Structure 1
Amino acid sequence: MFASLPERYETNVRRAASFRAKPAVLLTPDGGKEPAVMIRQASIIQGVLPVPEALRLANQIADALAAHREGK
């Protein structure tokens, strides 16, 4: 399991509070539109995830939280 350094605690908590996920649309090269999720931290867009990648990330976050509940 990853362990963050104690001196990074305040920075990690502050940055975590500024992350947001919002609905988005990916515009394809051929003019189409695909549903997506935009991840931003403060005013900086960190990425726009197609639905499969957003679901993959959401599942990884859920698994990480479950690992804590299970004491892993």
Structure 2
Amino acid sequence: MSKKQKRRVSSSESISRESPAKSSQAPTGRYSASAEFNPDYTPIIKDLKRIGVLAGSFIALLIVLSFFLR
């Protein structure tokens, strides 16, 4: 079995642990995560809705079939 590797603590965690006076300053990171990462989830939401409709219809079909098969 391979050995487990220890994870390094990122610099953003060490900044948040500092005193409140220093945490009120603007972050000095390389990039702002909220400005760069803005994904579009519309196709995923459409797929989840379709999966929900299919699952609901299959469950309803099984309930209806259970009445006829008894």
TM-score range, shorter chain: 0.3 to 0.5
Bigger strand share: 1
TM-score, structure 2 length as denominator?
0.34
TM-score, structure 1 length as denominator?
0.34
Which protein, 1 or 2, shows the higher relative CO under an 8 Å CA cutoff with sep ≥ 6?
A: 1
